[in-house]
Structure 1
Amino acid sequence: MSATAKTLVLHLGLLAVLFALQFVLPAYHHGNLARIMVLASYAVGYNILFGYTGLLSLGHALFFAAGMYGMGLTIQHAGFTPAPALIVGILAGAIVAAGLALLALRTTGVAFLIVTLMFAQAGYLTILYFGEYTRGDEGFVIQAADRMLWGIDLSDPTNRYFAAWGLFAVCLLLCLRLIRAPFGKTLVAIRENEERVRMLGYNTFAHKLAAMVVSGTVSAAGGAFYGLLFGYAGASFASVQYSIFPLLWVLLGGAGTVLGPFVGTLFMFYLIDLSSGVTTAYLLIVGVALVLLTLFAPQGLTGELRRRVWGWLP
C-alpha cells in the first residue's frame, strides 16, 4: 500500500471511529469528546501556523474569541440565526487574522511572539471594556432557542456531537489537503529555511500571510462552534491561557503532524480530568507528565510515532 493510501486510511479511519463512538459512549465521555473535537479543530488551526510554517504565536486566543463573539454577539444583539452568525464569526476571525498578519509579519522570532501576545491581550481588554455588550468576565449564555440550525437543535447532545464531528472532519481533511498541496510544501520549506525559499523566487511574506489567515480562520471556526454548541461566550476564552493551550496541545501531540492536534488535545484534556479527580494539586501531576513527555518524546506523541514507526505520517 502506498504512503498516500495509508494516510487516507488512517485519517478516514479515525473519523469513522469518532463517528461510531457517538453510539456507544456514556453521557459523560460523549460530552467530553464533543468538546475535545471542537478544541482540536482550534489546535489544527494553530498547527498550520506553528507546526507547518514555523511561526510561534501567543495570540491565537484573539482569533478563537473573534469567532466566538462574532457569532454570539450577532445572535444576542442583532437577532441573527445560527447559520449567518457562524459565517460572521468565521469572517471576523479571518479579518482579524489578516490585519494582525500585516503588522506582526514585519517582525520575526521572539518579536513576532510578543506582538501577537500584545494584540491578543488588547482584544481581551477590549472585551472587558465593552462589558455592556459582552458582559465582560461574566460572559453570556446563548439560549437553547437560539441554537436551532436549519431546524436542528444543537443543544441536544447527539446533534451537538455530530456538529462537533463535522467541524473536526472538515478541519482535519482541510489540513491534510493543504500540507500535501504545493502551498503546504512551500510552508514547510519556509519553516526549514526561509532564506533559501526566498532565493528560489518565492514570495515568503505572501505565503506566511496566507498561512496566518488560514490559521486564524480555522481557529475562529473553532471558537464560533464552541460558543454555539456549548451555549456560552466569555472573556476567559480571549485570555492568554487560551493562547497557551493550543501551543501545548500541538507540542504534546506533535507539531507538524496532521493528527498531532487531536492526540495532544485528547491527552491533555483527560490528563487534567483524571488528575483533578485524584488530588487538588492536579496541576503538579500535569506538570510532571508534561516534563516527562518533553524529555522522552520531544517530537510529541504522533511525532515520535512518525520518527520511530510510521515514517509516512504527514
Structure 2
Amino acid sequence: MIDWRKSALLHGALLAVLCALNYLLPAYHQGNLARVMVLATYAAGYNIMFGYTGLLSLGHALFFAAGMYGTGLAIGQFGLSPLPALAVGLLCGVVVSAALGLLALRTAGVAFMIVTLMFAQAGYLTILYFGEYTRGDEGFVLQQAQRMLFGIDLSDPTNRYWAAFVLFALSVVLILWLVQSRFGRVLIAIRENEPRARMLGYDTFAHKLAAVVASGMMSAMAGAAYGVLFGYVGASFGSVQYSIFPLLWVLLGGAGTVIGPFIGTLFMFYLIDLSSGVTTAYMLIAGVVLVLVTLFAPQGIAGELRRRMWRWLP
C-alpha cells in the first residue's frame, strides 16, 4: 500500500537535490541535467500510457515533434513570443494525440503498436516533405532574442536549468496526483484487467483516450520546452529513435513508477555520454549494460526498489 507521506518526502527530496545541484555542478553537467529533466518529462508522459494504462506505443515521437514544431514554427515563422508559442505547441500535441487516440484505440496489442508507429512515421515524413518551412533534417535554430520570456533569457544556462526544473517538478506533481486520483486508479485497473474494469461499468475506451491525450500533452510540452530552451528544432526528434528512447527510459527506470522515468533517462543519458568517451563503439557498451540491467532488474531500477525494499513507492 502506498504511504503518501513517505512518497512526498522522497519526491520532495529529489526536487531539493536538483535545486542544490544547480549551484554545485560545473557548467557541462548543469547543461546535461537540464536536458535530462526535459527528456524525463517526455518519458513521464510516455509512462502515463505505457506504465499506468498498459498501452505500448511506438510512435510517441509524433507528440514530442508536434509540440516542438508547433512552438518552433510559431516563433520562427510567425514571430510569436515564447509563452503563446508554447501554448500553440501544447495545443498541437492535444489535437494530434486526440486524433491518433480516436483511430489507434480501435485496435489493441501488436496492432496498436503498428498503428502508432505508422502515424509517427507519417508525421516524420510530413516534416521532411515540408522542408521549405521545417528545414527537414537540417532543422533550424531559434535565436537568443526569440527565447526571451518575461524579460528572462532562456538561453542563459542558469535560467534554462530553472525552466527545465519547473517543467520537471510540474510533471512529478501531476503524476503523483494522477496516481492517487480515481481516474488514475481506473487506468491501473485497465492495465491489470480491462475486461473486468469494463464489467464494473467503466468506459474503458474513454479512459484510454483520456490517457493518450494526457500523455501526448505532456510529451508535446516537453518537446516545446526542448526547442525553446536549447534553441534547436529538427526532424530527427520525430524519428523512430525518439519513439524508442522513452520506452527504454521507462523500462530502465521502472514502468508505472513516478520516479522511474527520471532514473531511466539519467542512467541512459550518462551511460551513452560516458561510453562514447571511451570508444566509438559506445552503443555496444550501452547494449551490454542494458541487457544486464534487464536480466537483474526486470522491473526497472525503481520497480526493483519497490519490489525489494520500498513497497510504498508509487
Interval of TM-score (by shorter of Structure 1 and Structure 2): over 0.9
2-structure distance, mates of 1:300, 1:84: 38
2-structure distance, mates of 1:148, 1:59: 31
Root-mean-square deviation (CA, aligned residues, Å) is: 0.6
Q: Which residue of 2 aligns with 1:238?
A: 238
Q: Which residue of 2 aligns with 1:263?
A: 263
Residue 214 of structure 1 and its aligned partner are, at CA, apart by 0.1
Q: Which residue of 2 aligns with 1:228?
A: 228
1-structure distance, mates of 2:17, 2:48: 24
After the TM superposition, which residues 133-172 of structure 1 pair with which residues of structure 2 at under 5 Å, given as runs?
133-172=133-172
SS state at 2:23 partner: coil
Q: Deviations over 1:199-255 (max 9, x none)?
A: 000000000000000000000000000000000000000000000000000000000
Q: Which residue of 1 aligns with 2:54?
A: 54
Q: What is the number of equivalent residue pairs in this alignment?
A: 313
Residue 3 of structure 1 and its aligned partner are, at CA, apart by 1.1
2-structure distance, mates of 1:11, 1:24: 20
2-structure distance, mates of 1:185, 1:47: 14
Q: Which residue of 2 aligns with 1:277?
A: 277
1-structure distance, mates of 2:299, 2:209: 26
SS state at 1:23 partner: helix
1:30 aligned partner, one-letter code: Q
SS state at 2:245 partner: helix
2-structure distance, mates of 1:4, 1:179: 11
2-structure distance, mates of 1:71, 1:53: 28
2-structure distance, mates of 1:257, 1:92: 27
2-structure distance, mates of 1:51, 1:166: 23
Q: Which residue of 2 aligns with 1:180?
A: 180
Q: Which residue of 2 aligns with 1:126?
A: 126
Q: Deviations over 1:170-201 (max 9, x none)?
A: 01110110011010010000000000000000
Q: Which residue of 2 aligns with 1:205?
A: 205
Residue 12 of structure 1 and its aligned partner are, at CA, apart by 1.0
Q: Which residue of 1 aligns with 2:304?
A: 304
Q: Which residue of 2 aligns with 1:33?
A: 33
SS state at 1:78 partner: coil
Percent identity between the aligned chains? 75
2-structure distance, mates of 1:292, 1:60: 26
After the TM superposition, which residues 78-97 of structure 1 pair with which residues of structure 2 at under 5 Å, given as runs?
78-97=78-97
